[in-house]
Amino acid sequence: MAGGCMSGMFGRRTDQVRLFAYPGQSNMTGRRLPLSWPAEIRASPQTDSANTFILLDAAALATTAPLNNVFRNPATAPDFTCVSFYKIFGFPDLGGLIIRKNPATMRILASRRYFGGGSVDMVTVLGDDAFHAKKTINLHSSLEDGTLPFHSIIALGTAIDTHEKLFGSMAQISSHTAALVRELYTGLTSLRHSNGLPVARIYNEQSAMYGDARTQGAAIALNIQRPDGSIIAPSAVETAANAAHIYLRSGSLCNPGGAAAYLEWSGAGLRQLYAEGLRCGAPSEIHAGKPVGLVRASLGTMSILADVEAFVTFLREQYVDCMADCGAVPEAMSYDSSTKLDFGDSEKHAPQAVDVENQAGWSLFRCCL
């Protein structure tokens, strides 16, 4: 992190408690930010290290990357790291908070002003003697408000063991998905209209290198453009892909700031769209000639090269040199939801379950958990 950026972020030293939070991986573009930032922030002369805390949001990063290096050295580790186990395994629906134990983090966590059942040793609300005593036997007991999801906690061990048995180490998964996203990027950038204009308009920073797991995760944010440069509505691309049994996500991708920046929407422009009736979760369309959302293609542990090739082929057949009705679903690809399947042949007709955030489809009948 450049010194000027650090100075602008933290300014002069004060006794004020500060929290610097950043994502290890963008949930929109897949860009990965440096894991060296916690150490750089603590070493900066502009930082009061005793009162500055770093939170790493590793929810997206941990799905296809090992976190060993993050925690190997406590001196350079984030103070707080959050992960999502459901994003990694699909089940159970748990998250985790990993805390760097030192006097500063213990002090800041002990100063919280609220509590819930299970995190106190005594509570009284009678008369003038009202008080509560927080649990002090260990840190996690003082933070675990309410009844713990003990069934999910028990299942987590099985999820970890099964995941490793099926797919190997997170380092292997990282190499696998990095290779896949490099192939996807190569395939997308090879698609051109007859006039030379790219079919896919890809959004990311120049520092992100597809195939380099240090700077880029297994996701690509894009929009599809016609030969004249106009953008096809992201929701139309998602609908057509769904009909081809390719599962994407479209919209602002729970990242309104990033979407506005890449799509060049001002705050005033978004306020105007809101006044006209646009709401979060609505189909992502074109307004004033510009898209209000993007398409994200994500690859995961179970993705294979054939998935990449199928998506690139779909885009080539559907959108190269297409001007009118590019977003329409071809009749041959239309899906009749009333179709009845004979589940006697489970291998042939196995329904597909999809984690639209980070995973490809897999057969429910082959699920091992």
The first and second tokens of residue 35, run together, are: 């894991």
Each domain of the chain, given as residue ranges in start order, spans 18-125+132-165, 169-319
pLDDT top residue among 342 and 121: 121
pLDDT at 327: 56
Active site residues: 254
pLDDT tens, position by position, 138-161: 888 888 888 889 999 999 999 999
**CATH no. for 18-125+132-165:** 3.40.640.10
Residue 168 clears pLDDT 70, i.e. is over it: yes
How would residue 134 be classed by pLDDT, with cut points 50, 70 and 90?
confident
User: In this structure, what are the phi and psi dihedrals at residue 284, rounded to the nearest 5 degrees?
Assistant: -80, 110
Q: How many CB atoms lie within 10 A of CB 236?
A: 21
Secondary element (H or E) of residue 20: strand 18-23
pLDDT at 11: 58
Please write down the HEC assignment for all residues of 164-198.
HHHHCCHHHHHHHHHHHHHHHHHHHHHCECCCCCE
pLDDT at 328: 58
- Cβ atoms of 223 and 204 within 8 Å: the answer is no
**CATH no. for 169-319:** 3.90.1150.10
Residue 327: partners with Cβ closer than 8 Å, 6 or more residues away: 232, 233, 236, 237, 239, 240
